[in-house]
Structure 1
Amino acid sequence: MIRAHYEIETPYDPAEVAQTMAGEQSSGTFVKIQGETEALRARFGARVTRVEVIEERAAPSLPSAYLERKGVQGPWRRAAVEIEYPEENVGVNLPTLAATVAGNLFDLGELTGLRLTALTLRPDYRDRYLHPALGVACTREALGVVGRPLFGTILKPNIGLSPEEIAELVETLCEVGVDFIKDDEIAGNHPHAPVEARVSAVMKRVRRYRERSGRDVMVAFNITDELDAMRRHADHVQKEGGSCVMASLNWCGLSAMQSLRASTPLAIHGHRNGFGAFARHPALGINIAAYQTLYRLAGIDHLHVHGMAGKFADSTDEVAHAARLSLTALGGTDDRVMPVFSSGQWAGTLQLTFEKTRSADFMFLAGGGILAHPSGPAAGVASLKQAWQSIEAGEPLARAGRPALGEALDFFGGR
């Protein structure tokens, strides 16, 4: 069975509303219909397995014209609900899975709040979907990095540079010691810097650096586009010797990400920009637990989780929870994805990141934290490595003898 976990808000009996939800998303509708036999319902009907009232409220979180037409008044009850859906209703079909556990539920008039909080799948069922091509272990192996986080950055300025200017910046970042470089999410197939021209220019420098140093650097090229274009761009990245592509998950969608995964052996760097639209209101949307389950079934390798004490609205606990979920297997095999900390990150936020996750299996992307370091990007990378040395040794970050870290603490610490 596919078990979906919800928090709902309604002025009606939550148990009755839960039954309506189960019927709406499986074999029936709001009334029993001809042909919906007991045998059919037993085989294909969804089943409510839990209803627990959490609290009552004097006012609704969201409006409902349906309730207004009926003159229904509160109190409004918030409840935890679990519903089991037969796997046979879905088969192996990711968009239909999403439509089943969410879909029209968000539009039901009886509800003044609905949040899909988590999905629980049988390991055997999860393993019928795509897995990461690299995931955590093979991303590390590809870069030869063990025992510490992967340190990377974002290309800045994020838009406006020519392919050759981008390539020059990438070469500089390779030379100063980053493990990973990514495009910004708004870097697209621009007239001034088309994807194929960017890829060719950048990979020429990366190959040259690789041959000279014996060290590889992973570059995540943003290929967000319609599906055929994404597949063409991924093929071009592979042809040029690249190992990673990036896509904006919410704007490409589940099925496009599935098709991209099926067509390329490259790592897929999943950027979740826009996730706040799905999750920021506490009474509406999709929790990161359910969200990451769906996109992990599409076979992504890396997933953005935002950053500790960063520039976005997430609390540190929310960010840490997203990272821990990424590092928890869903299936019977290792299908973990690499959590990516980004947004306002620098050497001083690395310690909190480790304390909250208790793992070194993450990407730590510092844009300004590297590129804006007062002594330059080489010192920016050194500040991250020195911060990690302090963490491993159990020493304060401000310990003397680590000059790049000390400069970072002085420069970024008061911002």
Structure 2
Amino acid sequence: MDRIEATYYVETPYPLADAAAVMAGEQSSGTFVAIPGETEELKLQYAARVEHVEELETATAPSLSAEQLPFEKYYRGKITLSWSFSNFGANLPVLCSTLMGNLYELRQFTGLKLIDIQLPDSYTQQFRGPKFGISGTAALISPEAKPPLIGTIIKPSVGLSITDTAEIVRKLVEAGIDFIKDDELMGSAANSPFKGRVQAVMDVLNKHQDKTGKKVMYAFNISDEMDNMLRNYDTIVNAGGSCAMVSLYSAGLTAVKRIADIGQLTIHGHRNGWGMLNRHPLLGVTFSAYQKLWRLAGVDQLHVNGIRNKFWESDESVINSIKACLTPMKGILPALPVLSSGQWGGQAIDTYKLTRTTDYLYLAGGGIMAHPGGINGGVTAIKQAWEAAVTGLTLAEAAQKYPAVQQAVEKFGKSK
């Protein structure tokens, strides 16, 4: 029978094999005590299996709060469990409850992190996944558009009037930008109601398309209660837009899948809140597992942070996240990795060197808005930096060749 496997990195004061058995019981047919209804026949079909236990290092103190008993050591290791499809079917919320539910509450563990999920082809083929993905996103902008797509975020994040926002959008499209997005903090503010903002921005973008043939993509943040999200979605469609942004953690899998299933707009998935799920090394979920669930839900574009970012995440973690989005899943398109967080042209060269791909949506807020040459200089500098990256130039060589890149190095390079 087809099964889904999940691998966890755990810490426990008990023998790993015993702890693994507790995990399997709690997340399938068992409970804290033997019950008459859990027959051998039932367990054969529905009980979780312990597939593998690998002992690693030990620790002398618990990583997370634990029961107050005098344990001398805490065992760390990897545990792989598996479940039959019969337990949850193509139901993402129940799948998540199975993979990441009460496991984190179990007193037997002082650390537990979901490392990865193995989803067989027969399971992923039950989902449509992203409708547009990488090539589809580019095609919505222009037949000539190809990654890396260069984008930005409206800054200041909140507080701008609709008129001010539209004026910034006008300057950005004239500078040659491919993509613009609301900040995740901007929904329908008192001085920038959603419907009015969409209409004003799309007036600018539609006029630019009539003039040039290029339809710059704007990701409007539709995150809200479900009924409002659907209304916001329709507002974008009726105005001629091509992209809806959703804060994934805030909206949830069911809402995101409902929106993605409509299929008229590409879905820009913002991962704000993800640090709560990942930042501790022995708690939460890795991005590798996280992105698979959102791709099943239909997210086309997925934030992965960026090289030398302004947050806590290491470059190695960012690179792994990029590779995860691009890793094939049967019947499911890759998600377009969205690089952001303190990005300017200087990181483009290292990003390409470390990944050897240009399949990116490369977002720079301050890196464009604060460029000494203004918005036009900021967009030009990032485009030229990516040209330099692909042709094998160093940042110093790119700065020597391109004045806009040199200005960016002088403005942003020294602070990095």
TM bracket (short chain): over 0.9
Matches of residues 20-59 of structure 1 in structure 2 within 5 Å?
20-59=22-61
Partner of 1:409: 409
Partner of 1:369: 367
Letter in 2 for 1:258: K
Matches of residues 257-406 of structure 1 in structure 2 within 5 Å?
257-330=256-329, 332-399=330-397, 400-406=400-406
Whole-angstrom CA distance in 1 between matches of 2:80 and 2:244:
36
Conserved? CA contact 2:125–2:332, under 8 Å: no
Whole-angstrom CA distance in 2 between matches of 1:150 and 1:220:
14
Conserved? CA contact 1:7–1:116, under 8 Å: yes
User: How far 1:147 sits from its partner (Å)?
Assistant: 5.2
Whole-angstrom CA distance in 1 between matches of 2:185 and 2:302:
17
User: How far 1:143 sits from its partner (Å)?
Assistant: 2.0
Q: Deviations over 1:319-358 (max 9, x none)?
A: 011011001122x235100000001000101111111221
User: How far 1:261 sits from its partner (Å)?
Assistant: 1.2
Matches of residues 201-220 of structure 1 in structure 2 within 5 Å?
201-220=200-219
Partner of 1:61: 63
User: How far 1:171 sits from its partner (Å)?
Assistant: 1.3
1:231 is aligned to 2:230:
yes
* Structure 1 residues 191 and 296: alpha-carbon distance in aligned structure 2, compared to 1, 3 A threshold: same
Matches of residues 56-205 of structure 1 in structure 2 within 5 Å?
56-64=58-66, 67-68=67-68, 71-144=69-142, 145-146=144-145, 148-205=147-204
Whole-angstrom CA distance in 1 between matches of 2:112 and 2:323:
24
User: How far 1:264 sits from its partner (Å)?
Assistant: 4.1
Whole-angstrom CA distance in 2 between matches of 1:364 and 1:262:
26
Whole-angstrom CA distance in 2 between matches of 1:284 and 1:296:
22
Letter in 2 for 1:25: Q
Conserved? CA contact 2:113–2:283, under 8 Å: yes
* Structure 1 residues 204 and 303: alpha-carbon distance in aligned structure 2, compared to 1, 3 A threshold: same
Whole-angstrom CA distance in 2 between matches of 1:192 and 1:241:
23
- Residue 203 of structure 1 aligns to a residue in which SS? helix
Conserved? CA contact 2:295–2:332, under 8 Å: no
Percent identity over the alignment? 44
User: How far 1:375 sits from its partner (Å)?
Assistant: 1.0
Whole-angstrom CA distance in 2 between matches of 1:201 and 1:92:
40
User: How far 1:142 sits from its partner (Å)?
Assistant: 1.7
Whole-angstrom CA distance in 2 between matches of 1:396 and 1:129:
43
Q: Deviations over 1:30-78 (max 9, x none)?
A: 22211111000001011000101111111110112xx32xx35131001
Whole-angstrom CA distance in 2 between matches of 1:110 and 1:413:
48
Per mean C-alpha deviation after superposition, the further-off stretch among 260-269 and 301-310 is 260-269
Q: Structure 2: any 5+ residue segments left out of the alignment?
A: none
Partner of 1:241: 240
- Residue 85 of structure 1 aligns to a residue in which SS? strand
Conserved? CA contact 2:138–2:146, under 8 Å: no
Letter in 2 for 1:9: E
* Structure 1 residues 76 and 230: alpha-carbon distance in aligned structure 2, compared to 1, 3 A threshold: same
Conserved? CA contact 1:130–1:258, under 8 Å: no
Whole-angstrom CA distance in 1 between matches of 2:150 and 2:30:
51
User: How far 1:146 sits from its partner (Å)?
Assistant: 4.9
Conserved? CA contact 2:306–2:340, under 8 Å: yes
Conserved? CA contact 1:247–1:271, under 8 Å: yes
Aligned length in residues? 410
Conserved? CA contact 1:231–1:263, under 8 Å: no
TM-score normalized by the length of structure 2: 0.96
Q: Structure 1: any 5+ residue segments left out of the alignment?
A: none
Whole-angstrom CA distance in 1 between matches of 2:332 and 2:85:
22
* Structure 1 residues 72 and 17: alpha-carbon distance in aligned structure 2, compared to 1, 3 A threshold: farther
Q: Deviations over 1:342-397 (max 9, x none)?
A: 01000101111111221110111011111111011111111112112212222223
Conserved? CA contact 1:234–1:264, under 8 Å: no
* Structure 1 residues 334 and 26: alpha-carbon distance in aligned structure 2, compared to 1, 3 A threshold: closer
Letter in 1 for 2:371: H
- Residue 395 of structure 2 aligns to a residue in which SS? coil
Conserved? CA contact 1:370–1:376, under 8 Å: yes
RMSD of aligned residue pairs (Cα, Å):
1.2
Whole-angstrom CA distance in 2 between matches of 1:391 and 1:56:
43
User: How far 1:398 sits from its partner (Å)?
Assistant: 2.5
- Residue 119 of structure 1 aligns to a residue in which SS? strand
